Structure 1
Amino acid sequence: MPIITDLLYLPPIEYFVAIQGHQEIWLDSKERYQKQTFRNRTQIRLANKVENISLPVIGGNKKVNFAEVEIDYNQKWKNIHLRGIQSAYGKAPFYEFYFPYIEDVFAKNLTKLSELNLELLTVCLKLLKLEVSVKYMEIIGEQPNVTDMRGIIHPKEGFEARNILMPTQYSQLFGSEFVPNLSIIDLLFCAGPESKEILTKSQKND
């Protein structure tokens, strides 16, 4: 059964919990860009705080097709993101195994935000060993037997407001209190091959 989702930047764990059990991810090719969403931001855990890192874009507004939104390379965001990820997870157990895959995507200097997000999503699905295909759909109306997750996972409200994630704790690098629903890279770098099982355990049952 397919699931329709937004195309997010290094999505939160909740996203991957939501797509488990689906064979296809459908993306809306005519989607409009929306500010202040996970399309251009993600959350990582540093030594003293949870940090929101965001991608600067050129001309992003609701009238623009998301596929046309460009990344602003005039700002030094890439160095900030790579240094931030290294600072947060450089000592994590599986960082050295998984980080090169993420770094390789950044090295391509992709100009479109949607292209970057899609490549990073593809890499994360591979590292999680989730057998899910991703495709763009030209026309998405109401579809029988299709789960529509568009607009559901949003940074303006916590995951507790949605019926998707029941966090399963894993060993994080910093702090004594577990922080749920960070970027999927937090789980990958900290839990490695156990990540898929943790996602399965984190599915909220009605």
Structure 2
Amino acid sequence: MKTLDTQSVLIDLQYLPSIEFFACIQSFSEIILECNENYIKQSYRNRCYILGSNKTEMLIVPVVDGNKKILIKDMKIDYSQRWNINHWRTISAAYGKSPFYEFYSDYFRNIYDKKHTYLWDLNLEMLTMCLKLLRVSKTIRQTEVYEKEANSTVFDARNLINPKKVSDSSQFYLPSPYQQNFGNEFVPNLSIIDLLFCRGNQATEILKKSMSI
């Protein structure tokens, strides 16, 4: 667990990161992104979850040679499926009537229009933009080599946040309900864009309430 003298967190880079991801990094001044690990399938590295009108929807960024051992920073995106157009249409359909959609939508649409070659570059720009919109200032750096055991002065959160773990068992995230677009029951730990589009400038305060470390 985090100690008082631990200011840095080592974590894997996610696609449109989950609220749990942001709840985790809130406690640290420096984010160290693991860029020298092998790509891991069925993880948040290339997927996120949003709330649609009928259900929770999973958005997956298709990659080239996802079954091979390739460093996450070298993993290329597969554009043969026009995924970026489909993702933006799905996001627009889900959040087009949200209170803060018009304030934030262009920032994300511009990123999708860039058609990044590498998944890493896409995810890094998404993370940087989300932090900017949340008005959260962090020092971000990337690993130089892969180390199985993190330095004792760094909190190692690699692979601790993944879709296969339920949010109520998280050591980082304690869901703080907010008004969502659809449904009568709160759906926790969606992509941060759900919180941004629904709550706008209140998102950061809700994140603070969602911290469990």
- TM value normalised by structure 2: 0.93
Pairing 1:143–2:151 present: yes
Q: Which runs of 5+ in 2 are unaligned?
A: 1-6
How far apart, in 2, do the equivalents of 1:32 and 1:67 lie?
9
User: Does the 8 Å contact 2:179/2:198 carry over to 1?
Assistant: yes
Q: What is the aligned counterpart of 2:40 among 34, 42, 47?
A: 34
How far apart, in 1, do the equivalents of 2:124 and 2:70 lie?
18
Aligned CA RMSD, in angstroms, stands at 1.1
Q: Which runs of 5+ in 1 are unaligned?
A: none
TM-superposed CA distance for 1:29, in Å, is 2.9
TM-superposed CA distance for 1:21, in Å, is 2.3
SS of match in other structure, 1:57: coil
TM-superposed CA distance for 1:62, in Å, is 5.5
Pairing 1:86–2:87 present: no
Q: Deviations over 1:170-202 (max 9, x none)?
A: 110111111010000000000000000000011
- TM value normalised by structure 1: 0.96
SS of match in other structure, 1:155: coil
Q: Deviations over 1:91-113 (max 9, x none)?
A: 00000111111111111111100
Tell me which moved more, 154-163 or 113-122.
154-163
- Which amino acid in structure 1 is aligned with residue 92 of structure 2? Q
Other-structure match for 1:133: 139
Pairing 1:47–2:53 present: yes
TM-superposed CA distance for 1:165, in Å, is 1.0
Other-structure match for 1:190: 198
User: Does the 8 Å contact 1:34/1:62 carry over to 2?
Assistant: no
Other-structure match for 1:116: 122
How far apart, in 1, do the equivalents of 2:210 and 2:106 lie?
27
Q: Deviations over 1:20-77 (max 9, x none)?
A: 0211110123111000000011000011100011011001236111111111011121
Say if 1:18 and 1:62 are closer, same or farther in 2 by CA, change over 3 A: farther
SS of match in other structure, 1:26: strand
- The count of residues paired between Structure 1 and Structure 2 equals 205
Name segments (4+ residues, structure 1) moved above 4 Å.
Answer: none
How far apart, in 2, do the equivalents of 1:9 and 1:61 lie?
18
Other-structure match for 1:171: 179
Pairing 1:67–2:61 present: no
How far apart, in 2, do the equivalents of 1:51 and 1:63 lie?
28
SS of match in other structure, 1:58: coil
How far apart, in 2, do the equivalents of 1:182 and 1:29 lie?
24
Tell me which moved more, 159-168 or 66-75.
159-168
How far apart, in 1, do the equivalents of 2:211 and 2:51 lie?
22
How far apart, in 1, do the equivalents of 2:87 and 2:139 lie?
27
TM-superposed CA distance for 1:121, in Å, is 0.3
TM-superposed CA distance for 1:145, in Å, is 2.5
Other-structure match for 2:107: 101
Tell me which moved more, 17-26 or 181-190.
17-26
